[in-house]
Amino acid sequence: MERLILIGKPVISGKASGIALVSREPLSFWGGYDWKSGEITDRRHPLSGENARGKVLVVPFTRGSSTTTAVLLEAIREGTAPAAIVTTATDFFFALASVVAGELYEKSFPLIALSESDFGMIKTGDQVEVMEDGKLIVN
């Protein structure tokens, strides 16, 4: 794959890089993500059994409620959270987890919203670099 540059909206700005872990299905972190390991544990989800620790998690949005924020906060504290999250729109539960983790633990992650067409261009296994301005460099 040639180098691809995508321009997104930085919901929470920051820099990160990692291997992409991509699903077109939303993910529930409540019962679907093991904060102790980073494993996606929702056995009905296409990413079931994959580990998101240190990866760029690419999901359209969360499924569920504010418990997503709580689970993700624990993962950030434990060091098992994704390096960055890419979505198709502003996801307030992801954003809240990043902001609160920045305040509580001095750790946060970038959250980037892409158009649906650009979102569809990232594949699992791509190397993704997230820039502070919302630009994604995909190799």
Report whether 116 contacts 87 (CB < 8 A).
no
Question: Cβ neighbours of residue 3 under 8 Å, at least 6 residues apart?
Answer: 137, 138, 139
Query: Residue 33 — φ and ψ, nearest 5°?
Result: -140, 125
Which residues are catalytically annotated?
65
Count of CB atoms situated within 10 Å of the CB of 139: 10
